[in-house]
Amino acid sequence: MHLIDSLKGRRLRHIGELTADEVNGLLDLAQWFRDHKRDRKYLQLCAGLTQGLLFVYESTRTRMGFETAMNELGGGSMYMPANLAMTNKGETWADTARAYNRMVHLATLRLWDQAHVDEMAAQLEIPLINACTPQDHTTQVLAQLLTMRQSHGHLKGLNVVYVGMTRGVVHSLMRVCPLMGMNLTTACPAAYTFDPIVLADARNRVEAAGTSLNLTHNLREAVKTADVIEGGVLLRSKLAGEKLPEEQRVIVQEFQVNRDLMQIAKRGCTFQHSGPIFRGYEMTDDILDDPKSLVWEEAENAKWVKKALIASMLQA
C-alpha cells in the first residue's frame, strides 16, 4: 500500500492538475483498498480528522462514497447543503474557505460553478477535492478508469465513447484520456455545448499525446470502434429539476444504449455509466441489468478512488 506523496495537502481543483504518474498511483492505491477490504491496518489513518462536504445539489453515490471512505479511514464527515450555508445569504466563497480552514481538515466541494471552487482554493490552507462542477468530476472519472483497467487489463490505446450531456464527467474525460494514451469520442446531443476552456485544453493535450478526440452527434457510428461505452445523464432536467429549453431538442432514442446498439459496437465492448440511473432514458433495462454490465462496478470503484485520494491528501 503506497500513498501518493505528491498529493499530500493538495488543493485539487480539477483532474487536469494530476500527472499520469499520480493517476496511475491513485488507481493502484484504490485497487489495493478494494483488494484488502478486510485489512484493518489502516483504519485509523485519518483518526481525529474531519472532512467538510459542501454540496449545492443532491447526491447519492458521491456523498455516500466520500462519507464511507472517510469513515473507513477513521475520520468523520460534516455534510452541509449549500442552501443552508451563508453563501446562500451572500457570504463570499473566499470567506467560507477561511471558516473551513479553522473548522475541518479537508474541503470536499460539489458546486455549480468552477469559479467558486477556484475562489475557495485560493484561500484554503487545507486540502481540497472537487466533488463535481459542470467542468469537472475527478473522482467519478478516476473510477471509470479503474473499471476500464479492471475489465480490459490496460488503459493505453482504448477507444472510449462517451454518450450523455456535456457536464463534469465528459469534461474530465476530455482532459484525462490523452494523458493516459486513450482515444475519446463524444456522442452528445447537438443541443448541448462543451466548456470552451476545457475543450481547448483537451485539444492541446491530444496533440501533445498523439491520441484522438472526436466530437459527434451520431452514436451509432461512434460505437463501431468502441472498446468502452461510458454513459452519462442525458436530460439535464433530471439533475436540475426543471425542464430546460435545450433538452426539448434531444431525441432520447438516438442516444440510448440498448441491445441493438451493443450489437453494432466492437466485439468485447463494455458498458459503464456514472449515474444517477434513469431507466428508459440513457439505457434499457436489459443493458443495465445484464451480468456483464459494469455500472455497479464503477459505482463501487468510486468509493475506493475517494479513499485513495483522501488517504494521500491527509497523510501524516
Residues of the chain with CATH 3.40.50.1370: 5-136+300-313, 139-294
Top-level CATH class of 5-136+300-313? Answer: alpha beta
Give the pLDDT of residue 73: 96
For residues 217 and 222, what is the distance between their CA atoms, to the nearest angstrom? 9
Considering the domain 139-294 in this protein, what is its CATH number?
3.40.50.1370
pTM of the prediction? Answer: 0.96
CA angle 164, 23, 315 (to 5 degrees): 120
Burial of 109 (0-12, 13-18, 19+ CB in 10 A): buried
Using an 8 Å Cβ cutoff, are 121 and 128 in contact?
yes
For residues 51 and 254, what is the distance between their CA atoms, to the nearest angstrom? 41
For residues 61 and 92, what is the distance between their CA atoms, to the nearest angstrom? 28
Other CB atoms within 10 A of residue 264 CB: 14
For residues 291 and 49, what is the distance between their CA atoms, to the nearest angstrom? 39
Give the pLDDT of residue 82: 84
pLDDT averaged over 10-residue windows placed end to end, the chain, 316 residues: 96 98 98 89 89 92 97 96 87 96 98 96 98 97 98 98 96 98 97 96 98 98 97 83 76 94 94 94 94 94 98 95
For residues 157 and 37, what is the distance between their CA atoms, to the nearest angstrom? 30
